Structure 1
Amino acid sequence: MPHSIDEDFLALPLRALADAALARARALGADHADFRFERVRSASLRLRDAKPAASSDITDLGYAVRVVHGGAWGFASGVDLTMDAAARVAAQAVAMAKLSAKVIAAAGSDERVELADEPVHADRTWVSAYEINPFEVPDAEKTALLVDWSERLLAAKGVAHADASLLSVHENKFYADTAGTTTTQQRVRVHPQLTAVAVDPESGEFDSMRTLAPPAGRGWEYLRGTGWDWDAELAEIPALLAEKMSAPSVEAGAYDLVVDPSNLWLTIHESIGHATELDRALGYEAAYAGTSFATFDQLGKLRYGSEIMNVTGDRTAEHGLATIGYDDEGVAGQTWDLVKDGVLVGYQLDRRIARLTGLGRSNGCAYADSPAHVPVQRMANVSLQPAPGGPSTEELISGVERGIYVVGDRSWSIDMQRYNFQFTGQRFFKIENGRLAGQLRDVAYQATTTDFWGSMAAVGGPQTYVLGGAFNCGKAQPGQVAAVSHGCPSALFRDVNILNTTQEAGR
């Protein structure tokens, strides 16, 4: 049954505060003004060896006013829920824009902030797809489930320690602007995770294995088995970890790779997701994690990967972490192409960058993680599309004579232009003559972005597609975090360079 917006949120003076702020901004000559009221509740629960180790439950509540005045941005935020205070915050935003305009003029720039047009969305509401609000579940029930899962791992032979965690977020947002758009939204997301640790008592050597279950735009039902088989995964981890502990170290060289969605989502995030943020490609974002090799002059020209590579940006995917009804500039959620038949054909945009580059309408990528932060261009759900009627993961493996099957994400490294990278994983299986032949250790794959995606020889069918993702994508200064999903099928890559991480560390 679909949820409705929380009544206690709707009982707040949302429209009255917005009216006061926007009226003051208009009176002071703002060309554009928007008002955003947010209530974001975030909870964290962590267990160590089936015993509670840490917990938190924090609510961030407040509002922000952003204006365009004199061709410059202005921004201010507040927490006082009175009409006079909202008007003062609007006046502060206008004063900031006036100051910014002076600084820009003194620097010799004639660039002016202008926003791409967007249809008016009046009195719209949107609620994400979930069944049970995790904040309506008693803490004792949450703890009991994590204790049970931890004890299952600890009872298995070879498991010395077990870590468990649950992150939950409930986000309410009201937006209004001087064009007449008003939206009210509610999102829920959860991230459960368990890690088993094995220790060799003689050598002191240790390793770990983590659940592959991705974070999801779901509620408590996810931990009850809707969307993921927790019982099956917890049952298989101890044996896989024991095998990993005794597995041989990989021999460095070139291998064919079959990459599982549980690993490939992160490669997509780092080498495509960030690289196709247009503010980064233009150089407007550089201080946090760099710019992008996929510069604007290469739109429609850059051979990003093989002809079977099709990547979309998406703000509408069911249960996606970056799925919204409307972004923080009042733009409706959309789906669009980023890479088509291996060629760069699109970027992720907000309203200012869309107008600046002449690309037309924004595709809804403005987001702020707090009422105290200004919206910045943030990542959509960026996903590699499966092949209709494409092969299963087992069929991909069967076509490899000498290779490695990569499962689960772990560490990663990529340069400041999103071009040279290295990724590891949770589990690596040797492939010999089309069959899995036991696990390997100390594996990392290394490539440039275009070489890696250019080596993609096959993508799996829809039956292999999984929506992975993370809660903690970082960007901007002051730093902000955003949750984002990346869907993908299993995929086959030919002749990828494999490093032995132990040997590399010893150099």
Structure 2
Amino acid sequence: MVVNGKCAKGSPPVPHDIDEAFLALPLRALADAALARARALGAEHADFRFERVRSASWRLRDARPAGSSDTTDLGYAVRVVHGGAWGFASGVDLTMDAAAKVASQAVAMAKLSARVIAAAGSDERVELADEPVHADRTWVSSYEVDPFDVPDADKAGLLAEWSARLLRADGVAHVDASLLTVHENKFYADTAGTVTTQQRVRLHPQLTAVAVDAASGEFESMRTLAPPAGRGWEYLTGTGWDWDAELEEIPALLAEKMRAPSVEAGRYDLVVDPSNLWLTIHESVGHATELDRALGYEAAYAGTSFATFDQLGTLRYGSSAMNVTGDRTAEHGLATIGYDDEGVEAQSWDLVKDGVLVGYQLDRRIARLTGLGRSNGCAFADSPSHVPVQRMANVSLLPEPGGLSTEDLIGGIERGVYVVGDRSWSIDMQRYNFQFTGQRFFRIENGRLAGQLRDVAYQATTTEFWGSLEKVGGPQTYVLGGAFNCGKAQPGQIAAVSHGCPSALFRGVNILNTAQEGGR
């Protein structure tokens, strides 16, 4: 079998211009009206954000249509700092008077917030870290073909053809297929003089094959490993992933999984494939290094963080093989941007260096509050009606230059498990105690794969797990995984984020038998 995500080479992305229909909207006129009103009302800072986000999805069950959607979210928002407090309002009326009124509402909200804060006895004021002015900048993500330029019939037809291919295989009883696509435009302007216009495209194709034992009623499923990506339609036609190879191997792997023995619980050495490890990075490193969580300012959805601010520069997060970056610039990354929703230019920076916590993810307020200098561009709102909050960058584990292949990592293990693909997970509210399952688990005996296992989960604390990291693979094992649906804040917001990583070797990790844990 092939032991890593299978990437296919393609031509370089075609440069695109910002969509003319978006540029034809009265972006600057609305921004000028809103910012002028905010200044006149005494705002210390004001920013204007206009967004058009088009999202579409297609779902098939056993090669037949099961549903589709196509929606567009369009509007604008004004955020201000007035009297040391935040104010925010949004609107959809594309007139100058309406934009000015929204700015007035934002200032009124800031005044109300200031009174509430004062009544609570707090003297903390909102102040923003400095950022250079970025005047009249444009940025477009890296893709070749906008999926919205492809006829819907072609999208549904490709999913149906792939589904039918799986259904023809022996042992495959059902196939679910889906495709999510997003085209996002964003215009930003603030009272400092920054003006940016951006365009991003991303998509997520996915197929799941199901096998059923008619006699016992038992079933198993196996999902494609292809991650969501900041790419265009070319991703489904051979650029960035070898779909033919993956679809060809799924039926045999699924049949083997149906026959696989249940794992014996205990301590094992693990080789974790990027298709699984990205999610462990997301939950145990990505959320834990959001500084608003570490400071206790945020707890919705994913809790706070064990990696508290007083441990910056001293916390032994993992072994010396662990080097993790936050990155808003990675090509095809789901969290890759040119400028964030506070006008901060995209950057890449260290979060964990040689196993030690050395950085956090920041927005402008948290950067100023903690004295850490410039924001690293982590403010994002998922719609024009939501206020920007601190959101995750592409948080990635770096490979070792000249490092081992996945096969060589496996070759160094006498008794272990090779973990492939993500599935369910659980982690506590401090991002510390966790367990993860996967799509496929293979027994390793004397450096070789020796068939699949079932009912496997690995369990550890964050520092124990990353402390057991002995080796990371080379760049040839590196894959950029991720998800469309990272949740945060209240009211809840959703953001897409990628996590790159190589294959990695962990020693002596606790393996649970999920069937036994569930009382079966």
Fold match, TM over 0.5?
Answer: yes
For 2:512, the equivalent position in structure 1 comes to 499
Q: Are 1:177 and 2:190 an aligned pair?
A: yes
Structure 2 CA distance for aligned equivalents of residues 25 and 480 of structure 1: 26
Percent identical among aligned pairs is 88
Q: Pick from 452, 475, 478: which aligns with 2:488?
A: 475
Q: Which amino acid aligns with 1:112?
A: R
Q: Which amino acid aligns with 1:29?
A: G
Q: Are 1:79 and 2:92 an aligned pair?
A: yes
Structure 1 CA distance for aligned equivalents of residues 126 and 518 of structure 2: 48
Q: Pick from 392, 408, 414: which aligns with 1:379?
A: 392
Aligned counterparts, 1:32-111, within 5 A:
32-111=45-124
Give the C-alpha shift of residue 149 in structure 1: 0.1
Give the C-alpha shift of residue 302 in structure 1: 0.1
Q: Which amino acid aligns with 1:278?
A: L
Structure 2 CA distance for aligned equivalents of residues 438 and 325 of structure 1: 45
Q: Pick from 426, 431, 436: which aligns with 1:423?
A: 436
For 2:231, the equivalent position in structure 1 comes to 218
Structure 1 CA distance for aligned equivalents of residues 513 and 166 of structure 2: 29
Structure 2 CA distance for aligned equivalents of residues 135 and 146 of structure 1: 16
Q: Pick from 332, 356, 359: which aligns with 2:372?
A: 359
For 2:171, the equivalent position in structure 1 comes to 158
Structure 2 CA distance for aligned equivalents of residues 121 and 114 of structure 1: 20
Q: Pick from 447, 464, 473: which aligns with 2:477?
A: 464
Give the C-alpha shift of residue 252 in structure 1: 0.1
Structure 1 CA distance for aligned equivalents of residues 417 and 304 of structure 2: 32
Contact 2:300/2:488, CA 8 A, preserved across alignment:
no
Give the C-alpha shift of residue 286 in structure 1: 1.2
Q: Which amino acid aligns with 2:440?
A: R
Q: Deviations over 1:148-172 (max 9, x none)?
A: 0000000000000000000000000
Aligned counterparts, 1:449-460, within 5 A:
449-460=462-473
Q: Deviations over 1:256-303 (max 9, x none)?
A: 000000000000000000000000000000132210000000000000
For 1:321, the equivalent position in structure 2 comes to 334
5+ residue gaps, structure 2? 1-13
For 2:401, the equivalent position in structure 1 comes to 388
Q: Pick from 30, 39, 44: which aligns with 1:17?
A: 30
Q: Which amino acid aligns with 1:143?
A: A
For 1:432, the equivalent position in structure 2 comes to 445
For 2:497, the equivalent position in structure 1 comes to 484
Q: Which amino acid aligns with 1:148?
A: E
For 2:18, the equivalent position in structure 1 comes to 5
For 1:189, the equivalent position in structure 2 comes to 202
Q: Deviations over 1:168-220 (max 9, x none)?
A: 00000000000000000000000000000000000000010000000000000
Q: Are 1:272 and 2:280 an aligned pair?
A: no
Structure 2 CA distance for aligned equivalents of residues 247 and 329 of structure 1: 51
Q: Which amino acid aligns with 2:453?
A: L
5+ residue gaps, structure 1? none
Structure 2 CA distance for aligned equivalents of residues 18 and 9 of structure 1: 14
Q: Pick from 381, 390, 411: which aligns with 2:424?
A: 411
* Secondary structure, counterpart of 2:277 in structure 1: helix
Q: Deviations over 1:227-259 (max 9, x none)?
A: 000000000000000000000000000000000
Q: Are 1:112 and 2:125 an aligned pair?
A: yes
For 1:209, the equivalent position in structure 2 comes to 222
Contact 2:287/2:302, CA 8 A, preserved across alignment:
no
**TM-score, length basis structure 2:** 0.97
**TM-score, length basis structure 1:** 1.00
Q: Which amino acid aligns with 2:426?
A: S
Paired residues in the alignment total: 507
Give the C-alpha shift of residue 352 in structure 1: 0.1
For 2:314, the equivalent position in structure 1 comes to 301
Q: Are 1:342 and 2:355 an aligned pair?
A: yes
Query: RMSD over aligned Cα, in angstroms?
Result: 0.5
Structure 2 CA distance for aligned equivalents of residues 225 and 165 of structure 1: 18
